[in-house]
Chains A and B, each alone.
Chain A
Amino acid sequence: MNLWLIVFFPLIGFLLNALWGRRLPKAVITIIGVGSVAASFIYVLAVLSKLYPLNTPYSQHYFTWIQSGFLNVGFDLVIDRLSAVMLLIVTGVGLLIHIYSIGYMEHEGGYYRFFSYLNLFTFFMLILVLASNLLLLFVGWEGVGLCSYLLVSFYFHETWATNSGNKAFIVNRIGDFGFSLGIFLAVAMFRTLDFGKMATAVSALPVEAGFGTLAVLTLLLFAGATGKSAQIPLYVWLPDAMAAPTPVSALIHAATMVTAGVYMVARLSFLYDHAPAAMEIVAIVGLFTAVLGATIGITQNDIKKVFAYSTVSQLGYMFLGVGVGAYSAGIFHLMTHAFFKALLFLGAGSIIHGLSGEQDLRHMGGLRKAMPITFVTLGIASLAISGVPGFSGFFSKDAILAAAYAHAHWMFWVGATTAGITAFYVFRAYFLAFFGDYRGHHHPHESPLTMTVPLMLLAALSFGGGYFNVPAWLAAMYPIAEHENMTPVIVSATFGIIGIIIAAFLYVFRPGTAESLKNAAGGLYKLVYNKYYVDELYQAAVVKPLKGIARVVLWKGVDEGLVDSGIVNGFGRAIRGWGSVLRHFQSGSIRNYATWVLAGCLLVIFAIGLFGGGR
């Protein structure tokens, strides 16, 4: 059994398609691109069936990567129950999205490029999940960031796409700077980066009472997570990342990469458990992100933007979960979210595909007759995200909210209200797209089988995913706290259903009411519609001053003033000056040269006389 084979297949797929994809026929590219992930998925299944029930982690050491002083970092892969869940999500959902892409990307340029990037992404994501030390995890972490950048800028001939790609990359750099500082601090503290050894070392320490080194360490790592997993204050890149082709939004910006932060916190739970102050901050950041994402989601008109803010919001829920110590609930929600959010995006992609690129909800409507499969599957996903009892989202969201209720009541009430808002905006998009009269001018048509089959499979998972009892599976790693109180369950489910009813009332039964409400809200609506002006705020507070400093101090001052005219041109000037003196020696007159030869000879003789000869 070789764990490296799991990551090896997508890497080979990437290399083949990246190096020779341009010359290969489409069918071969498809077989390589999808086949590599399928092979990986099957191999994961084989490994897990052999290792089942996986009571102890199974790790393999391949080689020593860094040996320097006391620090020893190896290329070690490990499977435990946590990474098993992640492996199944990454390869399983990933495979479905790869299949879906066959249909979606059929008429787009750069088919081979798309699949090679997707394979590379899968490779890095698997490294991230399987890594058994912090540095190797960081390799995967940065690698998926790179692939995210490449895929967001996939339509690189469009300025908006490359701008969005840059934004995603730069915002992530900010978070990753914190993450790398966290790694350094971990090295200084534990003298190792191996998860197992760190856990042993930290278990000897007491739980921090106030705000100590462990809190700093965990918050630095969490800074990386706010970038990668789109939390306040670094969430701004994710909505813009919708410039990517829709399967990418489903795979990277909904199901897998953006959940890496949650996975990281769960993986390092032993650290977070010892720093309650940091945990509290994680929970609060998650909660506020959930509220912020959900409220912005209400007002957006681009169907992908609605789901993007929904992702921000749902990721906030996951951090709320891990922040209040319910790691298994966070991972549970991560899994169900991967199912239903991937489905929401793929369904949106199916609509966009069927409408020849139309993304604006105002130009949709009445699509349920033209796209019946999309209609049904997207409906299941919407019910799942709304937390309607019986659907997957209900179980996981309930687990988080119950834990929040046990931790602090106010967190629960805010979270439950947000659940209602979530249901409202998702169904707003759903009703606007599928009910009423058609308001566009394309000819809607149902998508091909390669797209609808993944939709149906994901719909089955979105419905039934909640019955995989992830918290029980992870109980050995994260003990389940029993919450006997039924209040949170009932309240959150009720809020969800109320949200759906309001959405149905506003957009199906009384269309037009929404418009007057919007006008009544006036300034508040405008504030939310413009995303609380956060982008503008960042522009004014961070980007502009930075650009100013870069231009005035770094460019004009340091580069042009010091480096260019000081050092580079200074050397030139000095040499030119010496040259203008020395050039007088080369007069062209033989007599002159002869004099210099004579002077040189005399000098040599004089020197020999002064300092002594060879003997």
Chain B
Amino acid sequence: MEHVPLSWYLILSAVLFALGVAGFIYRKSVLTVFMSIELMLNAVNLSFISFSYELQRIDGQIYSFFVMVVAAAEAAVGLAIILTIFKNRGTLQIDEVDSMKL
């Protein structure tokens, strides 16, 4: 039985990443934007793992663990920030959070 070729994984990874980017830019809720970021990270993880398997090298897996750790930490901080925004402003509409300028 023939195994799945590398290109399929990479195409899947690219599609997932593009979906993440699109969600990051076009979704209106801060929470969804945040989830899109996670999606992008996982898309990258997928390509890391694929290359690791294909090339029979361990580095890719190590990197994906790194990314997962960072993603977990980011989730903790990010969710805390989102909670605070909601508490202070009563909304999670990203266009209404526009005070990031002088």
**Interface residues, chain A, CB within 8 Å of chain B?**
586-591, 593-595, 598
Interface flag for B73 (CB, 8 Å): no
Closest to B24 in A: A594
Q: Give the contact stretch, choosing among B3-11, B50-58, B91-99.
A: B91-99
Closest beta carbon of chain A to B20's beta carbon, Å: 11
Q: Which residues of A contact B33 (CB under 8 A)?
A: 590
A586-B102, A588-B100, A598-B25 provided; 17 other pairs, C-beta below 8 A? A586-B101, A587-B98, A587-B101, A588-B101, A589-B94, A589-B95, A589-B98, A589-B100, A590-B33, A590-B94, A590-B97, A590-B98, A590-B100, A591-B25, A594-B25, A595-B25, A598-B21
Tell me, in angstroms, the Cα distance from A148 to B94 when the chains sit together. 77
Which B residues are CB-close (under 8 A) to A593?
Answer: 100
Min CB distance, A609 to chain B, in Å? 15
Residues on the B chain within 8 Å of A586, using CB: 101-102
Cα–Cα distance between A591 and B98 once the two chains are bound (Å): 9
B38 to chain A, nearest CB (A): 15
Residues of B within 8 A of A591 (CB): 25, 94-95
Closest 7 CB pairs between A and B? A588-B101, A588-B98, A588-B100, A589-B98, A586-B101, A594-B25, A590-B94
Chain B hits for A587, CB < 8 A: 98, 101
Closest to B21 in A: A598
Q: Which of B66-102 contact A (CB under 8 A)?
A: 94-95, 97-102
Name A592's closest neighbour in chain B (CB-CB). Answer: B98
8 residue pairs of the A-B complex, CB under 8 angstroms, read A587-B101, A589-B94, A590-B33, A590-B94, A590-B97, A591-B25, A594-B25, A598-B21
Point out the residues of chain A lying under 8 angstroms from B24, CB to CB: 594
B52 to chain A: closest CB distance in Å? 20
State A3–B33 Cα separation when bound (angstroms): 89
Which residues on the A side are within 8 Å of B94 (C-beta)?
Answer: 589-591
The residue on A at minimum CB distance from B28 is A591
CA gap between A587 and B95 in the complex, in Å = 11
Residues in A with CB closer than 8 Å to B21 are 598
Report the nearest A residue to B25, measured CB to CB: A594
**A-contacting residues, B9-23, CB 8 Å:** 21
Specify the chain A residue showing the minimal Cβ separation from B30.
A590
Using Cβ atoms and an 8 Å threshold, which residues of chain B touch A588?
Answer: 98-101
B30 to chain A, nearest CB (A): 8
Whole-angstrom distance between the Cβ of B23 and the nearest chain A Cβ: 11
A420 to B27, CA, bound (A): 110
Query: How far does the alpha carbon of A36 sit from the alpha carbon of B101 in the complex, in Å?
Result: 71
- Collect the chain A residues with CB atoms within 8 Å of residue B98's CB: 587-590
A322 to B102, CA, bound (A): 79
- In the assembly, what is the distance between CA of A588 and CA of B99, in Å? 5
Min distance, Cβ A583 to any Cβ of chain B, angstroms: 9
Question: Given the complex, which residues of A lie within 8 Å of B100, measured CB to CB?
Answer: 588-590, 593
Complex Cα distance, B21 from A593, in Å, reads 13
Q: How far is the CA of A589 from the CA of B102 in the complex (A)?
A: 12
Expressed in whole angstroms, the Cα–Cα distance for A593 and B101 within the complex equals 11
Report Cα–Cα, A591/B100, bound state, in Å. 11
B102 closest partner in A (C-beta): A586
Q: Once bound together, how far apart are the Cα atoms of A452 and B22, in whole Å?
A: 105
Q: How far is the CB of B81 from chain A (nearest CB, A)?
A: 12
Query: In the complex the two chains form, what is the Cα distance from A586 to B98 in whole Å?
Result: 10
Closest beta carbon of chain A to B68's beta carbon, Å: 22
Least CB separation from A589: chain B residue: B98
The complex places the Cα of A593 from the Cα of B98 at a distance, in Å, of: 11
CB-CB < 8 A to A598: which residues of B? 21, 25
How far is it, in angstroms, between the C-alpha of A590 and the C-alpha of B95 when the chains are bound? Answer: 8
> Given the complex of chains A and B, what is the CA–CA distance between A144 and B101 in angstroms?
63
Q: How far is the CA of A587 from the CA of B101 in the complex (A)?
A: 7
Which residues on the A side are within 8 Å of B102 (C-beta)?
Answer: 586
* Residues of the B chain whose Cβ atoms lie less than 8 Å from the Cβ of A590: 33, 94, 97-98, 100
Write out the residue numbers on chain B whose beta carbons fall within 8 Å of the beta carbon of A595.
Answer: 25
- Type the 1/0 row for B33-55, where 1 means its CB is closer than 8 Å to any CB of A: 10000000000000000000000
Q: Which residues of B contact A589 (CB under 8 A)?
A: 94-95, 98, 100
How far, in whole Å, are A591 and B93 apart by their CA atoms in the complex?
11
Cα–Cα distance between A589 and B33 once the two chains are bound (Å): 13
**In whole angstroms, how far apart are the Cα atoms of A588 and B102 in the complex?**
8
Q: How far is the CA of A587 from the CA of B97 in the complex (A)?
A: 11
Query: Which of chain A's residues has its CB closest to B36's CB?
Result: A594
- The interface residues of chain A lying within 8 Å CB-to-CB of B95 are 589, 591
Minimum CB–CB distance from B39 to chain A (whole Å) comes to 14
Q: For the complex, give the distance between the alpha carbons of A594 and B25 in Å.
A: 7
CA distance in complex: A594, B28 (Å): 13
Docked CA distance A587–B25 (Å)? 15
With A and B bound together, what is the CA distance between A201 and B98 in angstroms? 84
Give min CB distance, A300 to chain B, whole Å.
72
A586 CA to B102 CA, complexed, in Å: 9
What residue of chain B has the Cβ atom nearest to residue A588's Cβ?
Answer: B101
- A587 to B21: give the CA distance in the assembly, Å: 20
Tell me the bound Cα distance from A572 to B97 in angstroms: 33
A596 nearest CB across to chain B (Å): 11
Give B51 Cβ to nearest chain A Cβ, in Å.
16
Q: How far is the CB of B21 from chain A (nearest CB, A)?
A: 6
Shortest distance from the beta carbon of B29 to any chain A beta carbon, whole Å: 12
Query: CA of A325 to CA of B52 in the docked complex: distance in angstroms?
Result: 104
Contacts of B25 in A (CB 8 A): 591, 594-595, 598
The CA of A265 and the CA of B33, in the complex, are separated in Å by: 92
| Closest A residue, CB atoms, query B97 | A590
Bound form: Cα–Cα A111–B46 in Å: 91
Tell me the minimal C-beta distance from A401 to chain B in angstroms. 86
